[in-house]
Structure 1
Amino acid sequence: MSFRERPVLVYDGDCGFCTTSVRFVERRVPTSAEITAFQFADLAALGTDVEQASREVVWVARDGRTYGGAQGVARLLVDAGGIWRPLGIIAMIPPFRWLAHGVYRLVAGNRGRLPGGTPACALPPDRRPGSTGRTP
């Protein structure tokens, strides 16, 4: 298992809602993570792939373990500490974990309709504007 100096948060940089959410995190959530769009990341080196990274946010821990979706967000909140830490811990404990997963799936499935979202958010990566027509 490879160890990293900092955790990494991978998100969909083509999604307006995702980018708006990440900008909020950068301004308000004091994480130690490197935040990067999957389109500019070496996904194989991070232990993930385009399929996962286009579907959900991915938290890559210092020890190389990956956590997707609601659990990725929970790890981000724990890492941030302060008032964010208890929210992250709660989101890791059943039944709150299951609730967080359901809410995350609902938001992710409708991100193109949410504030900051764009029609490109609803398209698979290979069909988005500027795509070469193949999965990166």
Structure 2
Amino acid sequence: MEPTLVYDDDCGFCTRAAAFVARHGTVELVGFAELSPSLRERLPPEYRECAHLVTEDAVYSCGESIERALAETELVPAPLFGVFRSVPGYPSLREWGYRRIANNRGTIGRLLP
């Protein structure tokens, strides 16, 4: 099973970010509006709060979903994320960054091509 990035397909910025990841890696994309019942069952109750990467064995949410999705691309060497995860405070910083971008995606989306 290919990893599946579940994202807010009602958000232009989110849709462009998901397409960027899929273009550079082996990730299937599924928008919130296209969720199958079986995929929806694997997501947390408040799934609309952030993106999720669903694999055979796990579901990663919010900042960790984007990190894991980027690790599936050719853009960043996957072992680099292992190094990041060993840095004290990295998970909190990753989630803080994800939240800042998510909370300002309308503004950020207008700034990007």
- Do the structures match in fold with TM over 0.5? yes
Query: In the alignment, which residue of structure 2 is the partner of 1:24?
Result: 20
- Listed as ranges, the matches of 1:23-102 within 5 Å are 23-27=19-23, 29-30=24-25, 32-42=26-36, 44-46=37-39, 47-48=42-43, 51-52=46-47, 54-63=48-57, 65-80=58-73, 83-93=76-86, 94-102=88-96
The structure with the greater share of residues assigned to helix is 2
* 4+ residue segments displaced more than 4 Å: none
Which structure is larger by alpha-carbon Rg, 1 or 2?
A: 1
**In 2, Cα distance between equivalents of 1:81 and 1:107:** 23
**In 2, Cα distance between equivalents of 1:82 and 1:15:** 23
How many equivalent pairs are there?
Answer: 108
Taking structure 1 as the reference length, what is the TM-score of the superposition? 0.67
- The C-alpha deviation readout for 1:27-83, integer Å capped at 9, x for no partner, is 3x22x22111111012x422015731x2111011122x2110111112112233563
RMSD: 2.3
**In 2, Cα distance between equivalents of 1:25 and 1:70:** 14
**In 2, Cα distance between equivalents of 1:36 and 1:81:** 21
Q: Which amino acid aligns with 1:19?
A: T
**In 2, Cα distance between equivalents of 1:17 and 1:84:** 24
Taking structure 2 as the reference length, what is the TM-score of the superposition? 0.79
Gaps of 5+ in 1: 118-136
- Offset of 1:15 from its aligned partner? 0.3
Partner SS state of residue 10, structure 2: coil
Gaps of 5+ in 2: none
Given the alignment of the two structures, is residue 6 of structure 1 paired with residue 2 of structure 2, yes or no? yes
